[in-house]
Amino acid sequence: MMKSVLIPALLAPAAALADGSAFDGTWKLRLDSVKVTGKADQWLLQGGSYSCRSCDPAVDPLPADGAFHKVSGHAYYDEFMVRVVDDHTVEVSQNQNGKLVGTETMRVSADGTVLTVKFTSYSGTQPVTGTFTEKRIAAGPAGAHAISGSWLQDQISGNDALTHVQYAMTPADFTMRANGQSYTAKFDGRKYPVEGDPGHTEVVLKKINVRTVHETDYRQGRVVDEIDLIAAADGKSLLMTDRDMAHGQTTSMVFDKQ
């Protein structure tokens, strides 16, 4: 939930802790802190057909003909398009209810070891744009397009809409605001909706202590993420650990107080 909420406020850690909680304020993702472990991303493009085996649910198979095709079971899109640019480059896009919601250009390095993805997402108030790279874990079958095989995310960059989030905590509840999406959830074990989220995510919040909050995300009737937020004692940084249950990956990242 790395979205954009910009506030021209700088609070000293002592003041933040005195007036509210260690979470209160605007936070910016430290991009070089993002670490992804777990199951690899898997794509296969061969014989004019595209598969994303690590998508949830899998996109398998789909004609790679540059046209949008209906897919089902996905929270954020209902149509998917794949266009082969050349033997190292592929463009993919997603629609939901006839509206473009995301685009990616995927390009494999000449030596076949690095995949670079330039992306734009339209799920928030402002477009989220950026680039990430993935390192090859396993090769695809002989004769398949270069994107085929297994990959794991390495580095990421992006605009403010990707990197900024605002949090606030009271003894009774916790609030998140980011790029047009938000929730305020009480620490009562109940589900609360993420307003503005086209995937209709619901959250359950548990307060572990004054500097630690556990968030469980539900989507389409099941748990998709388990997230731990830990604020540093000095109030200057925030560690997030996101266990993506749907994809079998764990991402850790650090946010700095703005």
34-52 pLDDT, tens digit per residue, is 999 999 999 999 999 999 9
**Degrees (nearest 5) of the Cα angle 89, 92, 94?**
170
**Looking at 108, 131, 158, which one is the last position of a domain?**
158
Nearest residue to 120 (alpha-carbon basis) of 72, 158, 67 = 158
Are residue 166 and residue 129 in the same domain, yes or no?
no
Nearest residue to 83 (alpha-carbon basis) of 109, 113, 45 = 45
Are residue 44 and residue 124 in the same domain, yes or no?
yes
CB count within 10 Å of CB 197 equals 21
Q: Are 137 and 103 in contact (CB under 8 A)?
A: no
CB count within 10 Å of CB 60 equals 14
**Degrees (nearest 5) of the Cα angle 241, 242, 244?**
155
The set of residues, in sequence order, having a beta carbon less than 8 Å from that of 58 and lying 6+ positions away, is 51, 52
Tell me the pLDDT tens digit for each residue of 219-229. Answer: 999 999 999 99
In a domain, 253, yes or no: yes
Q: For the chain, what is the radius of gyration of the CA atoms?
A: 19
In a domain, 125, yes or no: yes
Model pTM above 0.75: yes
In a domain, 9, yes or no: no
For residue 19, the model assigns a pLDDT of 54
Q: What is the CATH number of the domain that holds 202?
A: 2.40.128.20
**Looking at 158, 179, 213, which one is the last position of a domain?**
158
Are residue 181 and residue 69 in the same domain, yes or no?
no
Q: 209 is in which domain, residue-wise?
A: 14-36+161-257
Number of domains in the chain: 2
DSSP 14: H
In a domain, 2, yes or no: no
How much is the average pLDDT of 221-247? Answer: 96
| pLDDT-wise least confident of 8-17, 108-117, 189-198 | 8-17
CB count within 10 Å of CB 143 equals 8
Are residue 128 and residue 187 in the same domain, yes or no?
no
Are residue 154 and residue 174 in the same domain, yes or no?
no
In a domain, 165, yes or no: yes
Are residue 32 and residue 46 in the same domain, yes or no?
no
